[in-house]
Copies of this chain bind each other. A is one copy, B any other.
Amino acid sequence: MWKHIVRKEDTVVDATCGNGHDTLAMVKLVVDESNRGCVYGMDIQNIAVENTSLLLDALLNPNERKLVKLFNACHSRMEDIVPKCTSVRLVAFNLGYLPGGDKAVITLSETTLPALEAASGILAPGGLISVIVYVGHPGGMKELETVQAFASGLPVDDWVCSKFEMINRQMAPLLVILFKK
């Protein structure tokens, strides 16, 4: 879905870097010879930012690596990190806990909601917010409710909000997509 939306030289945001796999994929989507694309990555856990940085250092060339700006910060602080008037094409959330990390440290509705509000504000028309919600851990269902409540309240004239879920595998992660017209 990202490939249908993101173009070379775009600015995009990985709101929850985790181990950096999405950040890496985003760089590949925005990079071209001009080196004008930009990826803002953030994570509240320092170990996640370090893991992301290591992954990018290993798999990107120096010009690609320069396109990424990493921040050890909560995704609810997105508006402080992304410069004002930046036209953002994609904001991606991967909620839950850090794979391989401390499962007691999870994203919480209290910060996910302001982060979604911030994302909806900085997103350019024609842009996308994608949210993966893991419902198989404690707190996951509450987070899904938060994301759904936010999405269902966005005006239908300006947003297409949809949910994609597996129905023959219990507790499978869900994808929520918020497209700004």
Contact = CB atoms under 8 A, between A and B. Distances in A.
Nearest to A168: B161
For the complex formed by this chain, how many copies does it contain in all? 2
Interface of A: 148, 151-156, 159-169, 176
Nearest to A148: B167
Contacts of A164: 162-164
A93 to B, nearest CB: 15
26 contacts: A148-B167, A151-B167, A151-B168, A152-B167, A152-B168, A153-B168, A154-B168, A155-B168, A156-B168, A156-B169, A159-B168, A160-B166, A160-B168, A161-B166, A161-B167, A161-B168, A162-B164, A162-B165, A162-B166, A162-B167, A163-B164, A163-B165, A163-B166, A163-B167, A164-B164, A167-B176
